[in-house]
Amino acid sequence: MNEPEKPNKGWGWLQWGVVIVVLLMFGVGLLWPVFVLLDQQACQTSVTNHARQTIIAMKIWSQQNNGAYPDSAFQERPTANQVFRKLIQDDIVMDERIFSSKMSFYNGDGKIGVAPAFDQAVQAGENHWMITAGLNTKSPRETPFIFENAISSTWPLRWFSSYQGERIRGRVWRNGKIIVGFHDNSVSVVDLEKQDDVMVLPDKVMIPKGKTPLPPLKILDIE
């Protein structure tokens, strides 16, 4: 006598759990590049805003000092950190973290010390930006004013081509980009060009369309 067929109970929670996990992993794999891109765009927006705030602070200082910028207040060539500390000492900037950058090794802790020295402000490792020295309010508007830190301050500036987002000096964003603030208050994400094993600024930055080529720049280094 044949035994009656057992009813088909279908999949249990274990089988369905495996299917759901596989589908989730597949979905995350497809969306991961989108997550990375959105995170980079959010970080770039934050860094761009910091660059604009920094340029505005420099311009405010110049209005109070006959068109000169804070590097002119030093007898010897200062670092970019010293220049930005001057902005805090002169009550132009209250928060050192505008000189920081997400995805950078160089970030302020928000501690600036007490007046008038503010000796804890913009210490070594707390400033992301290099500055062009020797400018004043009459300098060409197309001049690059501040740069994300390069490998060194020697002109022409160079960045690593193989580091994208790592927290090291001279790193670039994905696809070889950096953020540059210009003397006309604009801030741009600039596509660098490959030169040997490093990245450099494209010619269009130093040779503005329809303008006289800009001279080599003197760059104030980070600490």
d(CA 136, CA 24): 56
Burial of 184 (0-12, 13-18, 19+ CB in 10 A): exposed
Confidence of residue 42 (pLDDT cuts 50, 70, 90): confident
The burial class, CB within 10 Å (0-12 / 13-18 / 19+), for 80 is buried
pLDDT in tens, 136-182: 999 999 999 999 999 999 999 999 987 765 678 999 998 899 999 99
Question: Whole-angstrom Cα distance, residue 149 to residue 170?
Answer: 6
Q: What would the mean pLDDT of 11-15 be, rounded to a whole number?
A: 64
**Pick the residue with more confidence: 6 or 124?**
124
Average pLDDT over residues 25-33: 47
Q: What is the pLDDT of residue 122?
A: 98
The pLDDT-based confidence of 32 (bands split at 50, 70, 90) is: very low
Q: Give the residue carrying structure tokens 């992301």.
A: 128
The whole-angstrom separation of Cα 57 and Cα 48 is: 14
Single pTM value for the model: 0.81
- Taking the C-alpha atoms of residue 40 and residue 37, their distance in angstroms, rounded to an integer, is 5
pLDDT of residue 210: 83
Domain residue ranges of the chain, discontinuous segments joined by +: 13-220
Q: What is the pLDDT of residues 78-119, one digit of tens each?
A: 999 999 999 999 999 999 999 998 778 899 999 999 999 999
Gap between the Cα atoms of 181 and 143, Å rounded: 9
Whole-number percent of the chain with pLDDT over 70: 80
Residue 48 CA to residue 141 CA, distance in Å, equals 18
Confidence class for position 28, pLDDT limits 50, 70, 90: very low
Dihedrals phi, psi of 96, to nearest 5 degrees: -65, -15
